[in-house]
Amino acid sequence: MLDALTLDQMRVLIAVSEAGSFSGGAECLGRAQSAVSYAIGNLESQLGVTLFDRSGYRPVLTPEGRMLLADARAILLKVDTLRARARGFGEGVELGLDIALDPQFPLTVASRALKELQNAYPLVSVRVLSAPLGEAIQLLQQHHCTLAISGIDIPDPRIEREAIVFVPRAAVVSTSHPLANRTASGESITAAELADYVQIVTEDPSTLTRGREYDVLSPGTWRVSDNSIKHALICAGIGWGNLPLWLIERDLLEGRLVRIPAAEFGSEGETVARMWLMHRTDEHLGPAAKTLKEALIRQSMTLGTA
Lowest-confidence region among 36-40, 121-125, 180-184: 180-184
pTM score, two decimals?
A: 0.68
Q: Over the chain, what is the mean pLDDT? A: 86
Residue 282: the pLDDT is 85
CATH of domain 167-273: 3.40.190.290
CATH of domain 96-155+278-300: 3.40.190.10
CATH of domain 2-89: 1.10.10.10
Pairing relationship of beta strands 221-224 and 199-202 according to DSSP bridges: parallel
The pLDDT confidence band at residue 236, using thresholds 50, 70 and 90, is: very high
Cβ(153)–Cβ(134) under 8 Å?
Answer: no
What is the rounded distance in angstroms from the CA atom of residue 270 to the CA atom of residue 268? 5
Domain with CATH 1.10.10.10 in the chain: 2-89
Rounded mean pLDDT, 280-301: 91
Residue 87: the pLDDT is 57
What are the backbone dihedrals phi and psi of residue 174, each rounded to the nearest 5 degrees, phi first?
-70, 150
| Exposed / middle / buried, residue 269 (Cβ in 10 Å: 0-12, 13-18, 19+) | buried
More confident residue, 230 or 268: 230
Domain with CATH 3.40.190.290 in the chain: 167-273
Domain with CATH 3.40.190.10 in the chain: 96-155+278-300
Rounded mean pLDDT, 294-302: 92
Task: Kindly report the three-state secondary structure assignment for every residue of the chain.
Answer: CHHHCCHHHHHHHHHHHHHCCHHHHHHHHCCCHHHHHHHHHHHHHHHCCCCEECCCCCCEECHHHHHHHHHHHHHHHHHHHHHHHHHHHCCCCCCEEEEEECCCCCHHHHHHHHHHHHHHCCCCEEEEEECCCCHHHHHHHCCCCCEEEECCCCCCCCEEEEEEEEEEEEEEEECCCCHHHHHHHCCCECHHHHCCCCEEEECCCCCCCCCCCCCCCCCCEEEECCHHHHHHHHHCCCCEEEEEHHHHHHHHHCCCEEECCECCCCCCCEEEEEEEEEEECCCCCCHHHHHHHHHHHHHHCCCCCC
Q: Given a cut of 60, is residue 90 above it in pLDDT?
A: no
